[in-house]
Structure 1
Amino acid sequence: MGNHATENSDELINKDLIKKWLLWGFFWILFAPTVGVIVSTKFTYPDFLDGIPELTFGRLRPIHVNGVIFGTFSTLFIGLCYYIVPRLAQIRVYKEHWGYPLLWIWNLNFVAGFVSLALGYNQGLEAAEFPLVVDIIVWISLLALTVQFLVTVAMRKEPGVYVSLWYLIAAFIWMDINWFFGNFIVPYNAPGINNAALHGLYIHYIVGLWITPAGYVLIYYFLPASVKNPLYSHKLSLIGFWSLALFYPFVGIHHYLYSPIADWAETISIVTSILLIIPVWTVLQNFFGTMIGRWQGFGSNLTAKFLITGAVMYLIGCFQGSTEALRSLQQPTHFTDFVIAHSHITIFGTFMLWALGGIVYVWPRITGREVLSFRIGNWGFWLITAGISAMVLILVAQGFQQGYMLMSGTEWVNSLVTMKPYWWFRTFSGISMDIGMDLILLGLLWGSRPSLAKST
């Protein structure tokens, strides 16, 4: 296949299955960010929706976080895998009919999980809050999906393995292992300091060994396909893959600096966090190199705009994450919204934008309907971009101000008074992002005319 990331093979994909997975993803796009706006509003109005236990901050926040990671991004990613894998493997997905029961098991299980969290059933570990029965069903679903996609790759007719498939294989295998580790071992067999250290590994593996390789699957496929240009360098993609696999497993403790965890373990996490510049720069060079000679059509290419904007956010977010791992920067920022800025610019600003770019590309090709209006899609893009940019700038500024106030001896409660204007702007920026995503969904679901795009 060389450096090309596309194949013209409509017969290999199940459009109905992809459509149903993406429709569930659309539902989660509406649900999880809306919960986020409610949570954000509670910072400025703590009594907002007061008196309803199910809508308290402590119950809504894990619903928002898990809703974005597992409900929204992961569901969209799985749906897009049913589009990508058969094209790159040149055969239909193995046991394709499994996709329908998995669709309902996966999503209804998360519905049950979110209801459980709202009712107060919580295991108490971030990104591992779901009750045990929900965790078991998620793990079984992941194993079934892993079998589907990995067997498809193993049985492929295409002799080469394109980089998207490398990352897809890694993402599912790593996630199977990490989900078992974080939900079945850490909560029950690791007390005290060991629990904090191992949970730090688990939650970073969710980001670095699931969301990150999953995001790479999407942009490595959809960027060359959308701009109709070969991937810049296959060798660079391999350097990025193996350096991510080598360095990321050790970064999990960098949020626990100055803790009772051993200094040598903290130092290893700092060093490997800095070394992540290698996979970051290699993949970014590949993305921007792929755009060479194609910038003239960038403004009218909605998919490419989401993907490249996400790549810029990725550059900023990874620089922030690596420097945040330094002890000198961790000291003033650790207990502030500086950390929240980092999580938003990476998970939403990067990976959700890549997922949105993917659905903008795929939806017209599986439904035969183009986006209702490029203007609507473009408005959605700019509202999302402006919203996430403003939110990150606000939270970074807020984090530095509050951090240095606390270091100078200001009482914590008094520091919150200064934070209130920042939290107002954060809520407004979140609303901007939500409206932007709603416009994208509006444009996709109410497509105006038959799509003229070739299936690639």
Structure 2
Amino acid sequence: MATATTTGEVQATNLVNYTLVKLHVAMGLLFFIIVGLMGFLYSLQLDGIYPFPGIEFLSPGRVRMIHTAGAAYGFLVNMFTGLLYWAVPRFTGYKVFDEKYLGGFLFIGLQAAVLITVVAILFLGQADNVEWGETPWWIDPIIVAWLLLHAVQFGTPIIKASQKAPLYVTGWYISAMLVWTPLVVFMGNFIPRFWSAGSGAGAVQSTFIHDLVGLYVTPVAWGLMYYFVPVIMKKPMWSHGLSLLGFWGLAFFYPLNGVHHFLWSPIPMFAQYSAVFATVAIEFAVTSVLINFMMTLRGSAEVLKYNVPLRYMYTGAIFYWITCFQCAFHVTLTFQKVIHFTDWVTGHAHLIMFGTFGMWVLGMAEYVWPRLFGKETMYSKGMSEGAYWLLTIGVIAMFVDLTAAGLVQGFDWIGLNPWIDSVNFSKPFWYFRSVAGIMMLTGLLMYAMNFYKTATAGKGLEAQLRNA
């Protein structure tokens, strides 16, 4: 058994390009820290203590766009790409299409696109008026071309594997993502700018903001979860049938969700009602996925005490269900009367993007990172635990705080009170949001320090406290 295991590890090592994994994961973590800093700076504007007043290229509006666009392309795309380089060859048994030339080009191209976007927004003041798609329009064709090459890189081993045996569910999710994402970026960024206008453009644009989450981030994240959780726990998923139910629920219902960002707008009501129905329906698909992961954990829950990467993943899964459950209510027209344009939405967005997808990739990266350097565990168990708890408590605090702030704002506006009253009522919540942000930034810095020490420490770190 030991010989077979060792042979399998050697074969997997030969399939994976460790350098590409290291580069993408390291850059993703660096951008995550920058993104967090930009968000914290923006929060200080609402606290009335912004440190760069009067400096145009550091104005809060531009800093906010770096926060959002950087989270999408700098953090998430880098992290997911690095983790795909680790997972796809392992579950397919084939290398990616081209490690040396295409792999290097994709890495350099992604960093260049992110940095050009930063320069264009901060120093040139150029940005699209697309929610979460603020990249200047002349960069968007480069992003689409990058995504097509990305599909070739990772689609090739999946196609080869599918010709020999039925694909595991991870292959389903990642294959769908490779097809959906270029379409999402093209339709959501190009059509509203060049071929549509007014409320029609808004309806089409909604396919970008929510489908970038639902048809890129969600399928690649769930696909990687279906790979990493069984590997770490050393047991199969509870139900393959439930995993496919979740996949097809995502495929059928998520594309319609985006219009719920435009409720009570001039967009035709049939489209708004369709978005409400689809958003409520997706909660059932999400619940089926969560049940599958929780039942897989049954009988092994003790591992969460010791295995920090797995704890990140299950914490993110719970946050995911909470945000989708919340979403099923706040997309109704009745709820929208209260919470539309309030900080409730900001709290919701941070719980899903940071609390769910951020926690997932941090857990996956913490599992992969020491193995890239021939080690079994991170440099410091204490720093791993400290970072996890700072990030978890920080994002929960921010979510609860902004949710409460949104209710205060919404009911104040319904009462037709002077606008300035809602601003004054919000100030305590905004101060607390900044404190929560400090916790999250501190956790990220601790996490990054642990990564650095793991990469530079001597070889031979052994697992601590049964950490897989």
Task: Calculate the TM-score normalised by the size of structure 1.
Answer: 0.95
Unaligned runs of 5+ in 2: 1-7
Q: Which residue is 1:26 aligned to?
A: 29
Matched, 1:412 2:416: no
The CA distance in 2 between the partners of 1:252 and 1:376, in whole Å, is 39
Q: How does 1:112-261 map to 2 (within 5 A)?
A: 112-119=116-123, 120-156=125-161, 159-261=165-267
Q: Which residue is 2:4 aligned to?
A: none
Percent identity over the alignment?
33
1:452 to partner: Cα distance? 4.4
Q: Which residue is 1:388 aligned to?
A: 395
The CA distance in 1 between the partners of 2:278 and 2:32, in whole Å, is 33
Match 2:113 to one of 109, 115, 126: 109
Match 1:270 to one of 273, 276, 279: 276
Distance 1:441 1:47, change over 3 A: closer
Larger RCO: Structure 1 or Structure 2 (Cα < 8 Å, ≥ 6 residues apart)?
A: 1
1:413 to partner: Cα distance? 2.1
Match 2:460 to one of 439, 450, 454: 450
Q: How many residues align?
A: 449
Q: Which residue is 1:4 aligned to?
A: none
CA-to-aligned-CA distance 1:278-318 (integer Å, 9 cap, x gap): 21011101111111121112111011110000011011111
Matched, 1:288 2:284: no
Cα contact 1:229–1:291 (8 A) shared by 2: no
Question: 442-451 or 200-209: which moved more?
Answer: 442-451
Cα contact 1:62–1:126 (8 A) shared by 2: no
The CA distance in 1 between the partners of 2:86 and 2:38, in whole Å, is 29
CA-to-aligned-CA distance 1:161-184 (integer Å, 9 cap, x gap): 111111111112111101111222
The CA distance in 2 between the partners of 1:209 and 1:84, in whole Å, is 19
Matched, 1:309 2:306: no
Matched, 1:330 2:336: yes
The CA distance in 1 between the partners of 2:70 and 2:257, in whole Å, is 24
Cα contact 1:218–1:354 (8 A) shared by 2: no
Distance 1:158 1:343, change over 3 A: farther
Question: 132-141 or 270-279: which moved more?
Answer: 132-141
1:47 to partner: Cα distance? 4.7
The CA distance in 1 between the partners of 2:448 and 2:50, in whole Å, is 32
Task: Calculate the TM-score normalised by the size of structure 2.
Answer: 0.93
Match 1:51 to one of 45, 51, 54: 54
CA-to-aligned-CA distance 1:141-190 (integer Å, 9 cap, x gap): 11111011111111128623111111111112111101111222221211
Unaligned runs of 5+ in 1: 1-6
Cα contact 2:69–2:135 (8 A) shared by 1: no
CA-to-aligned-CA distance 1:318-355 (integer Å, 9 cap, x gap): 11111111111111000101011111111110011000
Q: Which residue is 1:3 aligned to?
A: none
Runs of 4 or more off by more than 3 Å in structure 1? 451-454
The CA distance in 2 between the partners of 1:189 and 1:171, in whole Å, is 25
3-state DSSP of counterpart to 2:139? helix
What amino acid sits opposite 1:141 in the alignment? W
Cα contact 1:125–1:199 (8 A) shared by 2: yes
Matched, 1:75 2:78: yes
